[in-house]
């Protein structure tokens, strides 16, 4: 059984070596998988591959792995995988759920506090020797209404934090949890009501075919002018152009973003050296992303909300558990339906 781990970071190497040495024929690869770089010949006979969200595993990539039986994701999200192809070719795709519930929720709060209290702006002004107190006035969270989109494991963790900060909590989710209503005062509501009544909105929904660009021009027009939106879910849940226009036109007050549409074009060297590889839509979104970075009322981080020591350890343990279970004939955490 041959396994190739892609997107491997330095801090993952020791764990992966200890848990693969003597058990599997394995390769640790720092590079990502994408349709711009051909798969190396030595990787093509892999039975199992493991990737992070930085890899884009589409049909063109998957066709280069004729023996592939399993994709072990070191993430919860799986929108970067061509699930239709995997289903057609009997390739199991397993994810690593619940590894970062607290980690991501805490980071979402950090983004919200940063934008509300202008932490980064204050630091940069102070560093540059041009402190302007009137421009650094922030807003308190206590007593305000937070709207949470997606009350799964991460959204629920965020709700518990918000409850501890004496915030009023609105939630939009298909499934209601009695515990969240009874213990934390969560009020479930429809999407429009959440948009209109929330002072702050935090997005914790997975990306699906049905919620692509759920935050569009119309959504921002319904929000309060002093509202702040935080996204630690997926970039494609927000229409980047609509967000930029809402911020510039002061329809909303600010944004804290750990994810962006087509965020890979910002850091992926293949794109940096070959902009001609971008289609028109992706190029437009990349330009908008670059403009978002210039706004003072926006904080953008490089998809790092998951990145804590505790969460990484849980990801790696779950990944190895998923692989061992698959090999023993017991597939766990399969996302192919």
Catalytic residues: 234, 263, 303
Closest C-alpha among 321, 166, 281, 154 to residue 230: 154
- DSSP state letters, 191-257: HHHHHHH-SEEEE-PPP-SSSTT-B-HHHHHHS-TT-EEEE-S-GGGB-HHHHHHHHHTTSS-EEEE
Distance of CA 78 to the CA centre of its chain: 10
CB 240 within 8 A of CB 289: yes
In whole angstroms, give the CA distance from residue 185 to residue 173: 15
Within the chain, where are the H helices?
10-20, 59-62, 83-88, 101-117, 119-127, 153-164, 178-184, 191-197, 217-222, 240-248, 264-267, 269-272, 280-292, 309-327
C-alpha to C-alpha distances, 98 to 67, 106, 220, 312, 331, nearest whole angstrom? 30, 14, 30, 11, 17
In whole angstroms, give the CA distance from residue 165 to residue 71: 40
Q: What are phi and psi of 131, to 5 degrees?
A: -70, 130
3-class state of residue 38 by DSSP: coil
In whole angstroms, give the CA distance from residue 250 to residue 247: 5
Q: Is the dihedral of CA 215, 218, 224, 225 positive or negative?
A: positive
In whole angstroms, give the CA distance from residue 34 to residue 57: 6
Structure tokens belonging to residue 253: 């007050």
């Amino acid at each position: 059984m041959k396994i190739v781990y892609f997107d491997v970071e330095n801090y993952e190497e020791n764990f992966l070596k200890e848990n693969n040495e003597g058990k599997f024929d394995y390769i640790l690869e720092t590079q990502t998988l994408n349709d711009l770089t051909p798969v190396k010949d030595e990787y093509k006979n892999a039975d199992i591959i493991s990737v992070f969200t930085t890899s884009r595993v589409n049909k063109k990539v998957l066709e280069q792995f004729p023996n592939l039986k399993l994709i072990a994701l070191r993430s919860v999200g799986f929108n970067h995988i061509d699930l239709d192809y995997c289903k057609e070719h009997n390739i199991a795709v397993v994810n690593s759920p619940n590894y970062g519930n607290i980690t991501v929720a805490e980071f979402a709060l950090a983004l919200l506090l940063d934008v509300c209290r202008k932490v980064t702006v204050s630091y940069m002004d102070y560093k540059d020797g041009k402190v302007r107190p009137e421009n650094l006035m922030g807003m308190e969270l206590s007593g305000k209404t937070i709207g949470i989109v997606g009350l799964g494991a991460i959204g629920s963790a965020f709700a518990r934090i918000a409850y501890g900060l004496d915030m009023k909590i609105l939630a939009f989710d298909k499934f209601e949890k009695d515990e969240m209503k009874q213990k934390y005062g969560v009020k479930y509501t429809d999407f429009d009501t959440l948009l209109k009544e929330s002072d702050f909105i935090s997005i914790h929904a997975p990306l699906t075919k049905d919620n692509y660009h759920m935050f569009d021009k119309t959504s921002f027009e319904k929000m309060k002018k002093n509202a702040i939106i935080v996204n630690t879910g997926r970039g494609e849940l927000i229409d980047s152009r609509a967000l930029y226009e809402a911020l510039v036109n002061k329809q909303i007050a600010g944004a804290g973003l750990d994810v962006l549409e087509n965020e890979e074009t910002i850091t992926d060297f293949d794109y940096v050296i070959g902009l001609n590889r971008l289609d028109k839509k992706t190029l437009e979104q990349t330009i908008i992303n670059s403009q978002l970075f210039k706004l003072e009322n926006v904080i953008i981080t490089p998809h790092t909300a998951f990145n804590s020591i505790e969460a990484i350890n849980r990801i790696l343990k779950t990944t190895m558990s998923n692989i061992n279970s698959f090999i023993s004939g017991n597939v766990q955490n399969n996302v192919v339906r």
